Structure 1
Amino acid sequence: MRRGGRTMRVAGAPISWGVCEVPGWGHQMSASRVLDEMREAGLTATEFGPEGFLPADPVERAALLAGHQLSAVGGFVPAVLHESGHDPLPGVERALNGFGDARTLVIAAATGADGYDSKPHLDGDGWHTLLTNLDRIVARAARAGVETVLHSHVGTMVEGPDEIDRVLDGCEVPLCLDTGHMLVGGADPAGIARRAPERVAHVHLKDVDAGLARRVRSGRTAYTDAVREGMYRPLGAGDVDIEGIVDALSTSGYAGWYVLEQDTVLDGEPPAGQGPLTDVRTSLDYLSRVAR
């Protein structure tokens, strides 16, 4: 896609098909069907998805993706960054060993627990450790030719606006601007795109039902339950200012990936041609209109 003379690089993500690293998340579709449907929707690139979804060997992984006419963008890697007695680098290095030609490491500051329904409080020492580890990971990945971006994420140590600002002020890591998780966490993704576009190196495009997001922030609804209820919507069907975000980034000269994500929980295998594929097509149609 092109907008304002610039090419918009658009990729898919297995989470739009309900494929998630959280145990018990929901029905997990096979890689062959997910990749087939990505290509059927017109996508040409994807993030890896959770560990075990694609082959761990980078050569095998690349061959599988190539067989579906897809290339790899990079991968989401949750890592515990705030504990002084834990070194996240060995785990990050293992992940990087499987990256092959992919060039974007999407780090989330995991709590150490499964799921994203709660998180502990982080004190000053924890913040120092987290920010130091982010800079260490940025340097290590750069030596492998991979760019690290931090994904602020509901239920992780970096979730809300104050935590995002603390990262922006306290270390050099670029951001993955996840438009959905930022809004659910109480931040303004369009505002961040306008005031700090130079820190945005990767984008996850999500749309969100703001009413359900408010219920998550208030504690009335657990995050996973809200996702199951349809908190994430196809682009254009929710309350995120997708067009304003794309406009702000395009104006700033952003040339990175836009990864379509609609976090989904599936109760079973959808009929062929239905389910997630329908929503992904809706999002792509909307993004095409925005690009024009």
Structure 2
Amino acid sequence: MVAGQQASARDRIAGAPISWGVCEVPNWGYQMPAERVLADMQSLGLRATEFGPDGFLPDAPADKATLLRSYGLQGVGGFLPVVLHDPGHDPIGEVDVFADACLASGAGVIVLAAITGLDGYDVRPTLDELQWKTLLGNLDRIAAHAAGRGLLAVIHPHMGTMVEGATDVQRVLDGSQIGLCVDTGHLVAAGADPVAITVANPSRVKHVHLKDVDAARAARVVAGEISFSDAVADGMWTVLGEGSVDVRAMIDALEGSGYQGWYVLEQDLMLRDGEPGGEGPIADVRRCLAFVEKALS
């Protein structure tokens, strides 16, 4: 790849605060301050990041944008956990608050997670037909609403949410028009094949979270032998290229299909023992970044 192409490829790689242990789940663990996380991203040469959970960046959209710019970072948008299956709940207000932050910081992507309404990702109820109909209708309604504001809304299959594995993804593909955020780690952890999903539905893949996973630990979560949070603390998510996901095949499939969206680096982390010593999480993110840059070269 020539020098100009290499720069273009790097410009499509973004960071995510979850790689530094910053998460929306109550009592997740030590939450590293934004100044440390953003400074680490800047030192790695990253030019963009997802927002992280509420409270990580300033609430006011303009203040959020100003802080990101001070570290040379563009906002990508990010993860928005929202209840989508409840007929009595309208999620549009939550989407609009997030959209305001996107528009203020030059971000373009609303990454929806169809959460259960319970804290965390350890318990996942089964939806009835009405709830599924409501969820699918909300996906298309949000996608259209976001598009009307110049933004892209996608659905993120995620362990412990109402859209988790291959069966759920297929139901979304068949019953709605919304694009997918393919999270390689969460799909493999749930027993799905992100490469096959991408190859079969290239036009629906609009955003990508690159994550690797120890499938044996994930299988224990699926079997109910260990909670999701305990598995994360035990190192279920790994450095890219060191787990069970064929990340290189995923990138090749995306590039071969003409994908032009973001590659967001995510190694979900839980810091149960407080402030990490040494370099901290940046060491793993650096290795993940090197892996992706090589794959895109």
1:208 counterpart residue number: 213
Counterpart code for 2:191: G
Distance of 1:106 and 1:79 partners within structure 2 = 10
* 1:35-114 paired onto structure 2 within 5 Å: 35-99=38-102, 100=104, 101-114=106-119
Cα distance, 1:2–1:286 mapped onto 2, change above 3 Å: farther
Instruction: Return the TM-score normalized by structure 2.
Output: 0.95
Unaligned residue ranges in structure 2 (runs of 5+): none
**How far, CA to CA, are the matches of 1:2 and 1:56 in structure 2?**
40
Give the TM-score normalised by the residue count of structure 1. Answer: 0.96
1:89 Cα deviation after fit: 1.0
Q: Percent identity?
A: 54
**94-103 vs 166-175, which moves further:** 94-103
CA RMSD, Structure 1 to Structure 2 (Å): 1.6
Task: State how far apart, in whole Å, the 1-side matches of 2:75 and 2:294 are.
Answer: 25
Give the Cα–Cα distance (whole angstroms) in 1 for the partners of residues 27 and 154 of structure 2. Answer: 27
Residue 115 of structure 1: which of 95, 104, 120 is its match? 120
Question: Is 1:19 the counterpart of 2:25 in the alignment?
Answer: no
Q: Which sits farther off after the overlay, 50-59 or 225-234?
A: 50-59
Among residues 21, 32, 36, which one is paired with 2:35 in the alignment? 32
Contact map agreement 1:81 1:134 (CA 8 A) in 2: yes
Aligned partners of 2:186, 2:237: CA distance in 1, in Å? 10
Q: In 2, distance between residues paired with 1:284 and 1:102? A: 21
For residue 2 of structure 1, report the CA deviation from its aligned partner. Answer: 7.9
Decide whether aligned partners of structure 1 residues 286 and 144 sit closer, same or farther in structure 2, where only a CA change above 3 A counts. Answer: same
Q: 1:125 aligns to what SS in structure 2?
A: helix
Structure 2 letter corresponding to 1:144? R
Query: CA deviation digits over 1:71-121, x for unaligned, max 9?
Result: 100021111110111111111112212222211000010110110011110
Partner of 2:246: 241
Q: Per-residue displacement from partner, 1:189-228 (whole Å, max 9, x unpaired)?
A: 1111211111100000001111101111111111111100
Structure 1, gaps ≥5 residues long: none
The number of residue pairs the alignment matches comes to 291
SS at match of 2:144: helix
